[in-house]
Amino acid sequence: MSAFREKDKDLFFGREDFAEQLVTAVKRHPLVPVIGASGSGKSSVVFAGLIPRLRAEGTWLIQSFRPQSQPFYGLAFALVRLLKPELDEIQQPGRAAELADDMNQGGLMISQVMATILERNSGKRILLVIDQFEELYSLCRDEKERQRFLDKLLSAVEVASAQRTPDFIFVFTLRADFYGYVLSYPGLVDALGKSTLPPLGPMTPQELQAAIEKPVENLVELESGLTERILEDVAAEPGNLPLLEYALTQLWQTRQQGKFTRAAYLEMGGVKQALAKQANTIYNELSPVEQEQAQRIFVQLVRPGEGTEDTRRLATRAEVGEENWNLVQELAGESARLVVTGRNETTGEETVEVVHEALIREWQSLREWMKSDRDFCTWQDRLRVVMRQWEATGKNDRALLTGFPLNEAADWLQQRLADMSVPERDFIKLSLTLREKKIKEGESQQQRITVARTTAIGFGIVGVTLMILLNRQSIITVVITSNKKHLAESNLLKNFYLPKADLSEANLEKANLSKADLTEANLSGANLKGANFVKTYMPQSNLLKADLSQANLSEANIAGSDLSGADLKGAQLVKTYMPRVQLKDADLSQANLSEADITGSDLSGADLKGAQLVKTYMPRVQLKDADLSQANLSEAYIDGSDLSGANLQGAKNLNPDQIKRAKNWEKAKYDADFHKKLGLK
């Protein structure tokens, strides 16, 4: 799955014609692009095709780098190895950091550094390879730094272009689906127009045959028809080359008596399924806990495409999670090779990325994870941009999250805490702390208008006047809390920010509280019958014995709230986020909890008769003595939940495997036929 490198030149076949064209282009032009689809072999043809040919001439100084998130540092590190070859591995990073700063923030030009190198190496030419040029757009989020890098690069190309024979040449590899980004920079388009090298297209059948047979020539025998079968599977799909190499590696490992056989090839699933099958095999061998970790890891290693395909992302150890790093190392080991680990030369942080984008494209499990997590991953990518901007301001409070973005971040923090890095969590918490501070300042202002408040009656003229003249948020808060017995069918709380509000015993029947922020609010004993709580944010709230019958809490966040003894009869809880919720003895009969998340909640003694629990995520839930008769548990996830004494008679869409993953399943009550399916006496 990894690209061929210079040391692999004796095993690299099939791209001889293109490699010769590349050599010719490099000797004539100062900027040469190698553009092709993901997995078409761009890096391989440069490192195992071009570089060995130039190296054999004995007149070339050659270095390479990837832009990653800091293109100037990658460039500087490559140049330092040419400029100061006497420096050891400890000294090089410091000198590279200085050089990067001189080029990025100072006036030092790349051409000046090149000239210095050539003065010290008379008669030589320089080849600088920028591998995976698309990282300049996918990983470098600082647009100004990207612009400066392109400006300096093109300035150097202009200097080299003025020479009859360029002394220094840049070659870069670029994924074809990122070519649109290149076209948006006119200077780069003009420079590329002077190169006559065609894009790297699919390999011909003859080239593919050479790639399959020549590396093992005189080492093993290929069974008759095997090459043709492999060629049929590969067809003209350029992105299948990494899978081809992976499949051939698997064939090498399973060779029998010096022979590659069709049977072995078919058993491993052929070219297209070889990697996916290997990934599934490795994943299925993990424990349930490790599988959850693996999902978190791989999702962090994919950047959601915006108008392009998803791409791999270089993640730090902190972003993946310290608790997941041991598994990362296993996945990078010889027996797996699904990810590659490394180290950021600037910060010293350990990094990890998927071994190739082909894994993202071909592994169905990863595609499904990305499909279900796309909203979160896209949001998390935006958050990282905001965090970098905040850091660039010296961590100024004004650059913290506010308003809806903060509400959105707080919501994701509750839902996906385990999938966020410590710096991301801290950034959101700092933003929340600042908002709390401003709220307290508003409360002080509220206290100064106590006299005016006592003269205001209900929603009368005085109250309206105060709303206009004074702080609207503070006054509405006063009105709401002072009139909580008279808020039935009210719209005042819609989208309203009212954390820690005391609304105990309030009458909010059929009131609209959608998208409100009621964090840690006290709604104990409140009449919330038929109320609208769609997408309301109310974690850690007190809803003890509240009447929520027929209420709509779809997509609300009530994580950690206490609903003990609450009446939720017929309530809508579709996709509601409610882990670690207290629902002991609550009435949830006929309620709809489809696709809700109630991880680790306590529903002991709860009435769930006839409830909809379709695709409900409910691992480690306490269901002791709960009534689940007539409930629909189709695809419900109840692994580790306690079913002792639970009534499952008449429950719909159960299956034995589903039940047996729960705890104390044999102590629940079942219909006679299902009792037999479970093998109970």
Whole-number mean pLDDT of the chain?
85
Which residues, at least 6 apart from 18, have a Cβ–Cβ distance to it below 8 Å? 45, 49, 200
Please write down the HEC assignment for all residues of 499-536. CCCECCCCECCCCECCCCECCCCECCCCECCCCECCCC
pLDDT of residue 115: 94
What CA–CA distance (Å, rounded) separates 673 from 239? 52
Residue 74: how many CB atoms within 10 A of its CB? 25
What CA–CA distance (Å, rounded) separates 454 from 447? 11
Residue 453 has pLDDT above 50, yes or no: no
Confidence band (pLDDT; 50, 70, 90) for 547?
very high
Confidence band (pLDDT; 50, 70, 90) for 266?
confident
Rounded average pLDDT over 267-273: 76
pLDDT of residue 232: 81
pLDDT of residue 449: 44
Confidence band (pLDDT; 50, 70, 90) for 629?
very high
Residue 205 has pLDDT above 90, yes or no: no
What CA–CA distance (Å, rounded) separates 68 from 562? 47
Mark 174-188 as b/e (b = at least 16 C-beta within 10 Å): bbbebeebbeebeeb
What CA–CA distance (Å, rounded) separates 308 from 660? 43
Rounded average pLDDT over 514-537: 89
Between 269 and 450, the higher pLDDT residue? 269
pLDDT of residue 124: 94
pLDDT of residue 274: 75
Between 204 and 529, the higher pLDDT residue? 529
pLDDT of residue 480: 65
Report the run of H or E that residue 24 belongs to, with start and end. Answer: helix 16-28
pLDDT of residue 378: 87
pTM higher than 0.75, yes or no?
no
Beta strands 315-316 and 350-354: pairing type?
Answer: antiparallel
Residue 481 has pLDDT above 70, yes or no: no
Which residues, at least 6 apart from 200, have a Cβ–Cβ distance to it below 8 Å? 18, 34, 35, 36, 40, 41, 42, 45, 238
Rounded average pLDDT over 98-102: 92
Rounded average pLDDT over 116-137: 93
Rounded average pLDDT over 486-495: 76
- Tokens 């169905």 correspond to what residue? 364
Between 257 and 451, the higher pLDDT residue? 257
pLDDT of residue 460: 44
How does pLDDT run across 363-404, given as a tens digit for each residue?
999 999 998 888 898 898 889 888 888 987 889 888 899 887
| Max avg pLDDT among 34-43, 111-120, 671-680 | 111-120
| Max avg pLDDT among 274-278, 482-486, 677-681 | 274-278
How does pLDDT run across 227-262, given as a tens digit for each residue?
888 888 776 555 567 778 877 888 888 888 888 888
Rounded average pLDDT over 540-563: 91
Rounded average pLDDT over 285-304: 91
Residue 504 has pLDDT above 70, yes or no: yes
Tell me the three state secondary structure of residue 168.
strand
**17-31, 104-118, 426-440: range with lowest mean pLDDT:** 426-440
What CA–CA distance (Å, rounded) separates 300 from 318? 11
Residue 438 has pLDDT above 90, yes or no: no
Residue 463 has pLDDT above 70, yes or no: no
Residue 459 has pLDDT above 70, yes or no: no
Residue 322 has pLDDT above 60, yes or no: yes
**281-290, 301-310, 595-604: range with lowest mean pLDDT:** 301-310
DSSP line for 293-356: HHHHHHHHTEEPPSSS--EE--EEHHHH-GGGHHHHHHHTSTTT-SEEEEE-TTT--EEEEES-
What CA–CA distance (Å, rounded) separates 508 from 78? 67
- Tokens 């909010």 correspond to what residue? 508
Which residues, at least 6 apart from 660, have a Cβ–Cβ distance to it below 8 Å? 678
